[in-house]
Structure 1
Amino acid sequence: MNASHEVQRTGYLRRLESGKDRCDVVKVITGLKRCGKSTLIRQYIKKLKETVDENAIVYINLESREAKSIETYKDLNDYLASKINSAKRAYVFLDEIQRVSGWEKSINSLMVDYDADIYITGSNAYILSSELSTYLSGRYVEINMLPLSFKEYLELHPPSEGHDKYARFQDYIWYGSMPMVDPDGDEEFTSDHLVGIYNTILNKDVQFRLGVHDPVMLNNVCRYIMSNIGNITSSNSISENTDLSPVTVRNYLRTLEEAYIIYKAYRYDIRGKKLLKTREKYYVSDTGMRNTVLGNSAGDDISRQIENIVYLELLRRGYSVNVGSYRDYEIDFTARKRNKIEYFQVTQTLLPEETYEREVRSLELINDNFPKTILSLDPITRNTGNGIKHVNLLDWLLEATRL
């Protein structure tokens, strides 16, 4: 690991900076546990100190020893009252806010009683529940944070002699994109670390949230999804493979999504221009966690894993992402951002003629002028001659982007 610095999460920092001094809006940073939310807050506070009096900044990690006595919103109110100077603007950072019972009441009080610019983080989407909507209706913006992009990963783990960017990409697939994972470190330690994070999320966030009495079955559902990333699936098919009712499966899946372990991509009917809320696809937030949890059963086919990586990268770039459906053909991703639409096919290689025909044909059928791109690991790309771009996946992942 490049120990001389940590990665600057510039896209997320830019979004936080755009909300600076918007005291009418709470900035809510969500994401998988250990994906870098606390580091992002520290980076932002460091920049903030360049223009703001340090004494105006209030930060507390609610999982820390300092916060062990803060259990309810009343405790949090007392703590904040002791730290905030009501005579001037305060910049308040509350890390892992979901640990405090009734915390949303404290946030509401902060907005009413103080001149405060408020930032909160949480490892569970449940913090954006009906309770928060009730207290802060229209007064918060969510910034969903993902683990490292490949571009950030290469900054933290630069290629070295005999270990080029393609070798680093193999590390990125296998070990994943969590910031604390060192691909050059001890493999067994890395695996144990990832399993520990996974178990903590399942036991503390998911199992507790659901009141699950059979954690084995919850784990089975999660493993099933991890084994089938990029495959069309449904709660009924999972039910048949786990002996759980479809209702229970749907509850498990929803809560796994809320913990940011998995993401769901609905199918989108391109001709009919509507979402199809059946037979969706699922992707994981980190391929390294997936590979570690599944062990030998993870397999060595990287096709679906690179599809997973493209899905997450499109989310990082601010797209709303669905699986495209056109007649009997599937488009891997239909990506939307405001009025912009892009279509993507993802394949390990486009060199075999049958693969070329299949991937190109699916995109050729779409009768509009939006960009159409095929991403593959081929170092040499093919000219389709029909407006469809063939781009090397690593070049695409490393291109300059803005959130």
Structure 2
Amino acid sequence: MFIRLIGKKIEEKSYNGKKVNYISCDDPTARASLSNKGSVELRTIIGSCEIVILDEAQLVENIGITIKLLVDNYPDLQVIATGSSSFDLANKIVEPLTGRSFEFSFYSMSLQEIEFNLSRSNVLSRMNNFLIMGTYPAVVSQPEYALDTLQNISGGFLYKDILAYEGIRKPELLQKILTVIARSQGSEISVQSIANDTDASQHTVSNYIYLLEQAHLIYTLRSVESNDITSIRKKKKYFITDTGIRNSLVGGYLSIETRSDVGQLWEMICVMERIKFHTNSGRIPKIYYWRYNDQEVDIVDLTPSFESAFECTWSLKGSKSKKIPKAFLQDFPNLKVSIVHHENFWILYE
């Protein structure tokens, strides 16, 4: 499941020596050819490939049945169904493929991906820009057009799939909720508070937050008070999944020298980098934050085999004066705790 414009399109004709057929279901002809067909006819349509990629698969009528027929009748065929509308795609394929499908979630590019494709020095030299403009592929590859790209995304593409969902009756409320969340980065906020700020009911706000999560536009972080997982509190933080989108929502493209939210933006990046570290490897992240008596640790990762904690501070200088609360060390005595700043970001992938 993907957010829009994160670069999921695949053009390769082969992968690891296997023949690939890429089909864009945005094409009405392709959609019609895949809908309500028998297994023999489907095999003729997709050809002799070993991997078939169905992009925007949720647009195909009865796509779950189509994929089931392919999987049942051609066990050596690998089917990859991608979609920007995660709730729509999941609803259509989960039941027919129960126990035989694996779900992967992707966000905008991670710093780790950029480092792999370019270099660590390139990431470090452009870190200020990533903080402000984010890491959508088009922003990373064409930084000179970053502002236009972000305005394009936030102006239309951002809500395309959610607005197509039948449960949305107040599209302007969606924008208000997302803007309130964008302004609260790094802070605890309640559904009731968001409801008050947007003149909406808590029930409606909860529903819209769920849809924003499913569209991978926000990520919810819950707090944990001790090593006992049952101690997870009701308070939450909601993070916009890309700093560029967040800044477009609040109109904040100022340079880091003149802004007061650098710490919050860096926390956003660190949280999302740790999440991407897991999701890009097919793991389900179990990430929280810890807070007690106004003391806080930004990231508590309880993902099995990757248990660790991180305190986020933008500068190397600031990291030297950062202290981990004693109460946290008492709650999590066996947890490795690291302080991550923009000059050692790679420790987020350990």
Report the TM-score, using the length of structure 1 for normalisation. Answer: 0.74
- Runs of 4+ with deviation above 4 angstroms: 75-79, 154-160, 182-185, 297-300, 349-355
Which one of the candidate residues 312, 321, 324 is aligned to 2:290?
324
Cα distance change, pair 76–302 in 1 and its aligned pair in 2 (3 A) = farther
Contact 1:150/1:169, CA 8 A, preserved across alignment = no
Cα distance change, pair 143–182 in 1 and its aligned pair in 2 (3 A) = closer
Which one of the candidate residues 175, 178, 183 is aligned to 2:133?
175
The equivalent of 2:281 in structure 1 is none
Greater per-residue strand proportion: 1
Cα distance change, pair 350–153 in 1 and its aligned pair in 2 (3 A) = closer
1:244 Cα offset (Å): 0.5
Q: Which amino acid aligns with 1:249?
A: V
Contact 2:221/2:288, CA 8 A, preserved across alignment = yes
Once the two structures are superposed, what CA deviation does each residue of 1:156-209 show, in whole Å capped at 9, x if it has no partner?
A: 66689xxx75441001111111111157643xx432322322343444211221
1:135 Cα offset (Å): 1.2
Contact 2:240/2:268, CA 8 A, preserved across alignment = yes
* 1:59 equivalent in alignment to 2:30: no
Contact 2:219/2:239, CA 8 A, preserved across alignment = yes
Contact 1:60/1:67, CA 8 A, preserved across alignment = yes
Cα distance change, pair 199–78 in 1 and its aligned pair in 2 (3 A) = farther
1:89 Cα offset (Å): 7.0
Contact 1:63/1:99, CA 8 A, preserved across alignment = yes
| Mapping for residues 257-276 of structure 1, pairs under 5 Å | 257-274=213-230, 276=232
Which one of the candidate residues 215, 218, 222 is aligned to 2:174?
218
The equivalent of 1:384 in structure 2 is none
Cα distance change, pair 290–64 in 1 and its aligned pair in 2 (3 A) = farther
Aligned residues: 339
1:69 Cα offset (Å): 4.4
1:122 Cα offset (Å): 1.2
Cα distance change, pair 353–157 in 1 and its aligned pair in 2 (3 A) = closer
Partner Cα separation in structure 1 for residue 169 and residue 292 of structure 2 = 42
Q: Which amino acid aligns with 1:177?
A: T
Contact 1:69/1:75, CA 8 A, preserved across alignment = no
Q: Which amino acid aligns with 1:320?
A: K
| Mapping for residues 202-217 of structure 1, pairs under 5 Å | 202-217=158-173
The equivalent of 1:244 in structure 2 is 200
The equivalent of 2:103 in structure 1 is 142
Q: Which amino acid aligns with 1:67?
A: A
Which one of the candidate residues 233, 257, 261 is aligned to 1:301?
261
Contact 1:269/1:326, CA 8 A, preserved across alignment = yes
Contact 1:271/1:326, CA 8 A, preserved across alignment = no
Partner Cα separation in structure 1 for residue 131 and residue 192 of structure 2 = 30
1:234 Cα offset (Å): 1.6
Which one of the candidate residues 99, 111, 125 is aligned to 2:59?
99
Once the two structures are superposed, what CA deviation does each residue of 1:68-112 show, in whole Å capped at 9, x if it has no partner?
A: 645x73269797343245xx7742211111112321111111122
Contact 2:133/2:253, CA 8 A, preserved across alignment = no
Q: Which amino acid aligns with 1:264?
A: T
The equivalent of 1:333 in structure 2 is 299
1:302 Cα offset (Å): 1.0
1:303 Cα offset (Å): 0.6
| Mapping for residues 4-403 of structure 1, pairs under 5 Å | 30-38=1-9, 41-42=10-11, 45-48=13-16, 51-52=17-18, 54=19, 57-64=20-27, 67=30, 69=32, 73-74=35-36, 80-84=42-46, 90-115=50-75, 116-127=77-88, 129-154=90-115, 165-182=123-140, 185-186=143-144, 189-274=145-230, 276=232, 278-296=234-252, 300-318=260-278, 319-325=285-291, 329-349=295-315, 351=317, 356-357=322-323, 359-361=324-326, 363-377=328-342, 392-396=343-347
1:272 Cα offset (Å): 3.6
CA RMSD in angstroms comes to 3.2
Cα distance change, pair 323–184 in 1 and its aligned pair in 2 (3 A) = same
Contact 2:135/2:244, CA 8 A, preserved across alignment = yes
Contact 2:5/2:136, CA 8 A, preserved across alignment = yes
Identity of aligned residues (%): 24
Q: Which segments of 5 or more consecutive residues in structure 1 lack a partner in the other structure?
A: 1-29, 378-391
Return 271-280 or 246-255, whichever deviates more: 271-280
SS in 1 for 2:95: helix
Contact 2:298/2:310, CA 8 A, preserved across alignment = yes
SS in 1 for 2:267: helix
Report the TM-score, using the length of structure 2 for normalisation. Answer: 0.84
Contact 2:22/2:54, CA 8 A, preserved across alignment = yes
Return 337-346 or 305-314, whichever deviates more: 337-346
Partner Cα separation in structure 2 for residue 274 and residue 326 of structure 1 = 16
